[in-house]
Amino acid sequence: MQFTDHLLVGLLEAAPDAMVCVDAGGLIVLVNAQTERLFGYRREELTGQPVEILVPDAIKAVHPAHRAGYVADPQPRQMGRSRAHRPDREDTPPPGAHQLGLRS
C-alpha cells in the first residue's frame, strides 16, 4: 500500500460519519468503522457487495439510476435525508443520525 492509500484509509477511519466508497458499477470497495457501527455489518461482509445492500427496500429499484446520475455528474450531495432513505435494519439510529457519501 502506498503512502496516499494509507493516508486515505486513515482519513476515512478518523471520520465521525459513516463513509462508503463504491466503484462506478456500484460495488462497495471501502467502508469505515462508523459504517460498520451504523449498519451492523462487518466491512468484510460489505466489500464487493452492491451498495444497494445498504439502501432501504422502498428505493432499491430507483437507486441504480440515482447512482448513474451521480457518476455522470459527480457533485457533492447529502444522502439519506428523507424517511424513505432510512436503512431497513431495525437496529439503526434515528433519521438525521447518519449521512452517506457516494464516490466513484
> pLDDT tens-digit profile of 4-27?
888 988 999 999 999 999 998 999
Domain ranges within the chain, ordered by starting residue = 3-85
Residue 62 scores a pLDDT above 60: yes
pLDDT tens track for 22-54: 998 999 999 999 999 999 999 999 999 999 999
Distance CA 104, CA 102 (A): 7
May I ask the CATH class of domain 3-85? alpha beta
In this structure, what C-alpha cell is assigned to residue 71? 457518476
Is 80's pLDDT higher than 90?
no
82: nearest Cα among 64, 55, 102, 46: 55
Cell of 35: 459504517
pLDDT at 35: 95
Site of grid cell 449498519: 39
> Full-prediction pTM beyond 0.75?
no
Instruction: Pick the closest to residue 67 from 42, 39, 44, 101 (CA basis).
Output: 101
